[in-house]
Every structure is written in structure tokens, then in C-alpha cells.
Amino acid sequence: MYRLSTLPPVGRAILTMVVAVAMFSTMNVLVKWLGSSYPVTQVIFFRASIALVVILPLVHRAGGLASLRTARPLGHLARCLIGVTSMACGFTAITYLPLANAAAFAFTAPLWTTLLGLLILGERVRWRRAVALVVGFAGVLIMLRPDANLLREAMAGGRVAVGSLLALTSAALAACAMISIRRLSATEPSTTIVFYFMLSGSIIMGLACLPDFVMPTPTDALLFVALGVVGGVGQLLLTSAYRGAPVAVIAPFDYTAMLWATGYGYLIWSEVPHPMVALGALIVIGSGVYIIWRESKLGMIHKAQAASTTKNL
């Protein structure tokens, strides 16, 4: 029987990633369950505030309050506003959609990141990734099954149509947040970025939920605590996984969330993914994995070229 300590570093990172995805999938179950009885703003408040407590030991290990000093408050503010809005859209979508649908739309984030990297950062997108991007968004259209009724249903308040559009918006905003994090990471440690995000979520959603605040029952209060703890621990595990192995090795295991979402959805709410959603999700996943692999490969090539240039100098 293997002990965790006997696994090679890459194996530990993969296992950590799988557990992190399971934690986030469980968090989504709690979001869906609690979101049926409480305002989404209140759900996000507990998610952020309790997770903030969970990550405090990490901040302490990074240097305490001194590590939270920043010369880029506006950058943090922009990242936080984008991230909180993305979370609000995503959590609302989870309450409107079957879990598998919400997970499938969340998988479009790498597609949006590639597109925004081209438009905002001016990154070069070679033809292979461009094709993968087009194929990926074709998968999105299959999941949406767009027709003349989609926007009409959304405007009429149809929960599935509204949820689908909110899930896509959440993924696009998550990609914007990743672009923002890339810029902040040049000067800011990851603990500082995560701390200010959780702090802003607590403050913004704490104020937003006050008018409609619903006092939780004792059982639901425990579920709110579990929501924050599971989300916070998942965040720590995710950070540890990416620190322990290359992105190309770790990132594809994020797609195991589809298995968790399908299983949870069926066992708790008797949800069965529509065949077109399953087909579209497979296309999006394939496209996303290729984009991640390609970006990693090009990154290694660029590093090798840079090292060669430095050596020659």
C-alpha cells in the first residue's frame, strides 16, 4: 500500500489536483443546495468569509501582514471586482442548471483565456490553437443548442436559458480574472492575490446580502461553514498541485469535475445530462486540453531558446 510520501512529486501533484477538483465539486453541490433557500449574495458571503479564515495560516507562513503590502491596489481592485462578479454569475448558474451543464460551461474558461490573451495582451495565437479555439466554441454552440428561442427564453426568465448565459459569462469573466492575475503575479505573491480576493468578496457580498439576509437554520449554518471550509481547502490544494507539477500535466485533471458533477447531479437531484450537452462538453474538453498542452509546449520551447541565447552571450 502506497503512502503519499512515497509517491513521486508529479504523482502527488496529480493526486492533490484530483482531490482539489473533488472539493470544488462538493462546494458546487452545497452552492446548489443552499442557493435554493438563500440569496446567492449570502452564499458567496459565507463562501468568501470562511475561506478567508482558512487561508490565514498560509498568509502567516508567507510573512503575515507584511506580505499583504502592495503597490498595486488598483490592480487588486480590478481583479477582485471581476472575480466576485464571475462568482456571482457562476453560483447563480449552478442554482439554475443541472450540475453537469454548469460544469461543462465552466470548461470554456481556457478558450476565453486564449481569446482574451490575443485581444488584450497581444499574444500570438498560431494556427493550431486557432483551430482548437474555433472547435471549442463550436462545442459551446452545441451545448447551447442555439435557435430563435434561446434569447427569447432568457428574456422571458427561462431558468435554463438564463443559467446557460450566466455560466458562459462567468467563464469569460474568470478568464479576464486570469489575465489580471498574470499581470499581478509579476510583482505580487499568490497569497496576497487570494487574500484580497476573499476579503473583497466578504465585504462586497456582506453588504449586498444585508437587505435580503435569511437567518440560517442550525443545519444550514453548518452547511455554510462546510461551504467555506471546502472552498478554502480546495483553493490551497489547487495552489499546491500547480506548484508541484507542470500545468500541462495537472490542468487536464480539472476536467474530472464533469464526472463529479454528473454523479452528484444524478444521485441528489436525479439529473441526467442532455446528449447534446455531453457531446458539446467532450468537444470543449478536447479543445481545452489541446490548448493547455500546446501553450505548455511552446512555453518550454521559448525557455529553451532563451536559455540558449543566454548561454551564447
Q: Please report the pLDDT score of residue 293 as a whole number.
A: 73
Share of the chain above pLDDT 90, in %: 31
Please write the tens of the pLDDT for every residue from 224-242: 999 999 988 888 888 778 7
User: Please, what is the average pLDDT of the chain?
Assistant: 81
Picking from 42-46, 70-74, 209-213, 243-247, which range would have the lowest pLDDT averaged per residue?
243-247
Give the chain as a DSSP string: ---GGGS-HHHHHHHHHHHHHHHHHHHHHHHHHHHTTS-HHHHHHHHHHHHHHHHHHHHHHTTGGGGG--S-HHHHHHHHHHHHHHHHHHHHHHHHS-HHHHHHHHTTHHHHHHHHHHHTS-----HHHHHHHHHHHHHHHHHH---THHHHHHHTT-HHHHHHHHHHHHHHHHHHHHHHHHHHTTTS-HHHHHHHHHHHHHHHHHHHHSTT--PPPHHHHHHHHHHHHHHHHHHHHHHHHHHHS-HHHHGGGGGGHHHHHHHHHHHHH-----HHHHHHHHHHHHHHHHHHHHHHHHHHHHHHHHHHHHHH-
pLDDT tier for residue 213 given thresholds of 50, 70 and 90: very high
Contact 283, 142 (CB under 8 A): yes
Does residue 11 register a pLDDT over 90? Answer: no
- Residue-level pLDDT at 147: 52
9 pLDDT band, cuts 50/70/90, is confident
d(CA 278, CA 284) in angstroms, rounded, equals: 10
Task: Look at residue 157 in the predicted model and tell me its pLDDT.
Answer: 60
The pLDDT of residue 19 is above 60: yes
Higher pLDDT, 304 or 77: 77
pLDDT band at 306 (very low <50, low <70, confident <90, very high): very low
What's the pLDDT band for 309 if we cut at 50, 70, 90?
Answer: very low
What digits encode the pLDDT tens for the residues 167-211? 989 999 988 888 888 788 778 887 888 889 899 999 999 999 999
Cβ count within 10 A of residue 106: 23
Based on C-alpha coordinates, what's the Rg of the chain? 20
Q: How far apart are CA 240 and CA 232, in angstroms?
A: 13
For residue 128, is pLDDT > 70?
yes
Rounded to an integer, what distance in angstroms lies between the CA atom of residue 61 and that of residue 280?
A: 43
Banded pLDDT at 118 (limits 50, 70, 90): confident
- How many CB atoms within 10 Å of residue 70? 16
Evaluate if pTM is beyond 0.75: yes
Task: Determine the pLDDT at residue 155.
Answer: 61
